[in-house]
A and B are shown apart, each in its own frame.
Chain A
Amino acid sequence: MVKISKEEILKLANLAQLKLSSEEINEFSEEISSILDYVSHLDKIDVEGLEPTYQVSGLKNVTRSDEKIDYDIDKNQLMSNLPDSQDGQIKVKRMIG
Chain B
Amino acid sequence: MKTWDNIAKIAHEVNDAKLSAVDLVSESLSLINMAKEFDAIISLTEDRALERAKLIDEGVKSGKNMGRLAGVPFIAKDNFLTYGGETTAASNILKGFNAPFQASAIEKLEAEGAIVVAKANLDAFAHGASTENSDFMTTKNPHDKTRVPGGSSGGSAASVVLGLAPFSIGTDTGGSIRQPAAFSGCVGLKPTYGLVSRSGVVAMASSTDCIGPLTRTVGEASLILDVMSGRDPLDSTTIEKDSLSYIDLDSSLEGKKIGLVKEYFDDSLNSDIKDSIDELIAKLKTAGAEIVDVSLPILPSALAVYYILCPAEVSSNLSRYDGQRFGYTYDKAKDLNESYAESRARGFGKEAKRRIIIGTYVLSSGYYDAYYKKAQLVRTKIVNDFEKAFKSVDFLLGPVAPTQAFKIGEKSNDPLAMYLSDVLTVAPNLAGIPAITIPIGMKNDLPVAVQLMAAQKQDRSLLGAARKVEELVK
Contacts and interface: CB of A to CB of B under 8 A. Distances in A.
B100 A28 contact: no
A73 B350 CA distance: 33
B325 A17 contact: no
Nearest to A85: B325
Nearest to B306: A39
Contact of A83 (B193, B329, B354, B377): B329
Contact of A20 (B334, B336, B345): B345
Contact of B416 (A35, A42, A77): A35
A32 B358 contact: yes
A21 to B, nearest CB: 8
A16 B357 contact: yes
A84 B360 CA distance: 29
Interface in A55-97: 55-59, 62, 64, 71, 73-74, 77-78, 80-84, 90, 92-95, 97
Q: Is the interface of B mostly helix, strand, loop or mixed?
A: helix
B178 interface: no
B334 A93 contact: yes
A16 B456 contact: no
B445 interface: no
Contact of A54 (B101, B342, B376): B376
Given A32-B361, A35-B419, A93-B335, A52 B380 contact: yes
Contacts of B370: 43
Contacts of B339: 92-93
Nearest to B350: A24
A77 B102 CA distance: 13
A28 B374 CA distance: 23
A13 B100 CA distance: 31
Given A17-B340, A39-B307, A53 B380 contact: yes
Contact of B341 (A19, A24, A62): A19
B308 A39 contact: yes
Nearest to A80: B98
Nearest to B337: A17
B436 interface: no
Contact of B378 (A13, A28, A32, A47): A47
B325 A62 contact: no
Nearest to B374: A42
Given A78-B100, A93-B339, A24 B353 contact: yes
B236 to A, nearest CB: 4
Interface residues of A, number: 54
B431 interface: yes
A38 B416 CA distance: 8
Contacts of A42: 301, 304-305, 308, 374-375, 378
A31 B415 contact: yes
Interface string B404-424: 000000000001100100000
B47 interface: no
B402 interface: no
A59 B237 contact: yes
Interface stretch (B21-29, B162-170, B271-279, B315-323): B315-323
Nearest to B382: A53
Interface in B83-103: 96-98, 100-101
Nearest to A69: B233
B127 interface: no
14 contacts: A4-B361, A16-B319, A31-B416, A35-B416, A41-B301, A42-B304, A42-B308, A52-B380, A56-B193, A57-B237, A81-B327, A83-B326, A95-B336, A97-B335
Nearest first, the 8 closest Cβ-Cβ pairs linking A and B are A56-B432, A52-B376, A83-B329, A19-B345, A47-B377, A81-B326, A39-B304, A62-B236
Interface of B: 96-98, 100-101, 193-194, 207, 233, 236-237, 239, 298, 301, 304-305, 307-308, 315, 319, 322-329, 331, 333-342, 344-345, 348, 350, 353-354, 356-358, 360-361, 364, 370-371, 373-381, 383-384, 415-416, 419, 430-432, 456
Interface of A: 4, 8-9, 12-13, 15-21, 24, 28, 31-32, 34-36, 38-39, 41-43, 45, 47, 50-59, 62, 64, 71, 73-74, 77-78, 80-84, 90, 92-95, 97
